[in-house]
Amino acid sequence: MKKGQATLEALIAVILAIAAFAFITSLSYEKQLETTDTEAFLAKKDLCLKVSNNINGVFTSGDGAVSKIKNTYYDVFFDGPGREIFVGDARCSIPVDKITNGINSTFTIPKGVMQVENKDNVVYVSSNCIINAPEYAEVGTLNTSAKKIVTSLVKEDDDKYAEVGFIGIPGDEKVGNSDFYSGGNEVKIAYLRLGNHCTESELIALLGEYSCDNYDENIGTTKCDIFFNSDSIDDFFEDKLYEDYGIYIVEDVQNAIDSGEVEILSEEVMGGKWMFFSGRFGSSGLKFNISYFDDKGNAPATVQNYTNQFFQLQEGSQYYGTKKKMAATQNNSIGSYVTIAKFVNDFDAMSTWDYGDGFIFFVSDICEEDIAEALRLALENIIGLRGSGWIYSSFILTPLLNALSVESAEFSINHKVNDTSVYIANITYRDVGSWIEICTNLTGSLTEKTNTCSINNMVGNKVETIVSFDSTPNDFKEAFVDVESIRVCYNDTIS
């Protein structure tokens, strides 16, 4: 009996020892957790204060100051309106009034690398991916050609919208006897080609997509007719065939069109049509409200830095070799006048301007090199976008301090529409080269939605974009753009 009692007492002692050990271990673990939590909190607090101090230092250093923080092991949340920084459960103050990630004042920067920059006394915070808002933005419509600056409305994701308005073409609206269209209807093109300056291959490059043929009075007007001799030109004016066409292309007609016929074209274009004219067009003087010269231009002609959503040539490209005494224009105090290319003697080789409710493009030689192709694309854009609206934006990209290379880039737009027939027809961009299409046929939504388009092989730090909205005909339509941005991500960085 004593032996059994001793065994039981030993077992109880062991159990008590195990319980005591477990209790001590538990206390130790809890203490260790407390220590770990404290260390983690202190690390978060240290990062929070470090970020706050960097913001203060960059702000007080003035415009252009940049700082980079490497190895931020926690996500950092910025509450700009509340002027607070949160790193997990650690919190500290934001020592400035204005802070943003490029488009929002409330945002999170993921762990990794953080860049802090002062731009005009606004502090911009970013990670390896920098969000760039437009430096300039304008909207316009093809119905009015009026441009409206909307930069402040598309800089931030703030429910303040740039309105892109346009009138859908009603079914009974005529341009002459021809319906302008958006989509599958027809706009007729009249090509006045008396001089036969362009070769057949150049003519195909310009109008090959439109199945153009010489005008035949037995057939009547078609979607694209070439008036190629004096008889067909007489028919064009005397039979009022010009009323059937929405676009006129006039190729080096010299003196074959008299002043009365010029006046007819002038009135038609002022009513809302388009005209491209090239080369010699009668004698020098005032034409379509600008100064025209039949022999003042001396090549080469250099493409300028200009904006036009239809006729797009690469800045710096040169045309016409060393030709002399070419047709040219100069602005005659027309506010809408845009110089596209300039001769060496300061006359304009290519230009465009609004004319009443219509639009005119002048090109000194319409068939030179790749100009015919650019004009063909302009015709396609005009026909496809008639009745639509657009927004143009330019961006100056902020580089990541000491970045090795660009990893990726994308354009983003937040938008909504007042009718689901409105959609984004296309989005194009350019940096140092020609315009490149990056998105097409993006559906609209009555509530705000976001679309992103990848930008490949981006060069330079300036990017321009054009977003073109389109719609089916009938009734008033609008698109609303909340914010646009270009997000550029960079590869590994160095200290």
Q: What is the CATH number of the domain that holds 268?
A: 3.40.50.880
Whole-Å CA distances, 340 to 61, 95, 304, 433: 42, 48, 6, 15
- Which residue has 């065939």 as its token pair? 241
Residue 60 domain-assigned (yes or no): yes
Residue 86 domain-assigned (yes or no): yes
- Are 360 and 289 in contact by the 8 Å Cβ rule? The answer is no
- Which residue has 């057949």 as its token pair? 200
Residue 174 domain-assigned (yes or no): no
The whole-angstrom separation of Cα 384 and Cα 396 is 30
Q: What is the pLDDT of residue 474?
A: 46
The domain total for the chain is: 3
Q: Is the Cα torsion angle 244, 245, 249, 255 positive or negative in sign?
A: positive
| Strand positions, DSSP E, 18-121 | 66-72, 76-79, 84-87, 90-93, 99-100, 106-109, 112-119
Residue 103 domain-assigned (yes or no): yes
The whole-angstrom separation of Cα 297 and Cα 301 is 9
Residue 88 domain-assigned (yes or no): yes
Q: What is the pLDDT of residue 177?
A: 28
Q: What are phi and psi of 236, to 5 degrees?
A: -55, -45
Q: What are phi and psi of 454, to 5 degrees?
A: -70, 140
Whole-Å CA distances, 2 to 6, 7, 8, 9, 201: 6, 9, 10, 10, 121
Residue 93: strand pairing partners: 84
Tell whether 109 and 242 lie within a shared domain. Answer: no
The whole-angstrom separation of Cα 444 and Cα 95 is 41
Q: What is the pLDDT of residue 31?
A: 60
- Which residue has 């069109």 as its token pair? 257
Whole domain around residue 369: which residue ranges? 189-381
Whole-Å CA distances, 210 to 224, 362, 380: 6, 21, 10
Q: What is the pLDDT of residue 443?
A: 92
The whole-angstrom separation of Cα 306 and Cα 315 is 8
Q: Any idea what the Cα angle at residue 170 is, between residues 236 and 189, rounded to 5°?
A: 25
Whole-Å CA distances, 126 to 75, 114, 243, 487, 490: 12, 6, 57, 10, 11
Tell whether 354 and 408 lie within a shared domain. Answer: no
> Which token pair is 344?
């060496």
| 3-class secondary structure, 198 | coil
Tell whether 114 and 158 lie within a shared domain. Answer: no
Tell whether 147 and 17 lie within a shared domain. Answer: no
Query: Per residue of the chain (495 residues), what is the pLDDT tens digit?
Result: 455 556 766 677 667 767 666 666 666 656 665 655 778 898 999 999 999 999 999 999 999 899 988 888 899 999 999 999 999 999 999 999 899 999 899 999 998 889 999 988 999 999 888 999 999 999 875 545 556 899 999 998 888 999 987 644 433 333 322 233 333 345 688 988 876 677 777 777 666 656 678 888 888 888 888 888 888 888 999 999 999 888 999 887 777 778 888 899 999 999 888 999 988 887 888 989 999 998 999 999 999 988 787 788 888 999 999 999 999 999 988 889 999 999 999 999 999 999 988 899 999 988 876 788 788 777 766 765 445 678 999 999 988 887 778 889 999 999 999 888 888 988 989 887 778 889 988 999 999 999 999 998 887 789 999 898 877 544 567 889 999 999 999 886 555
Tell whether 338 and 486 lie within a shared domain. Answer: no
Residue 179 domain-assigned (yes or no): no
The whole-angstrom separation of Cα 339 and Cα 64 is 34
**CATH number of domain containing 463:** 2.60.120.680
Among candidate residues 97, 112, 127, the one where a domain is terminated: 127
Residue 213 domain-assigned (yes or no): yes
Tell whether 376 and 420 lie within a shared domain. Answer: no
Q: What is the pLDDT of residue 351?
A: 96
Any idea what DSSP says for residue 208?
G
> Which token pair is 453?
């388009």
> Which token pair is 50?
């470090």
Residue 177 domain-assigned (yes or no): no
Tell whether 269 and 200 lie within a shared domain. Answer: yes
Q: What are phi and psi of 448, to 5 degrees?
A: -60, 135
Residue 34, amino acid:
E
Among candidate residues 381, 411, 430, the one where a domain is terminated: 381
Whole-Å CA distances, 243 to 194, 237, 432: 20, 9, 41
Tell whether 41 and 85 lie within a shared domain. Answer: yes
- Could you tell me which residues come within 8 angstroms of residue 316 by beta carbon, excluding any fewer than 6 positions away? 302, 303
Tell whether 323 and 433 lie within a shared domain. Answer: no
Tell whether 80 and 163 lie within a shared domain. Answer: no
Among candidate residues 105, 127, 149, the one where a domain is terminated: 127
Tell whether 213 and 291 lie within a shared domain. Answer: yes
Burial of 231 (0-12, 13-18, 19+ CB in 10 A): exposed
Tell whether 302 and 397 lie within a shared domain. Answer: no
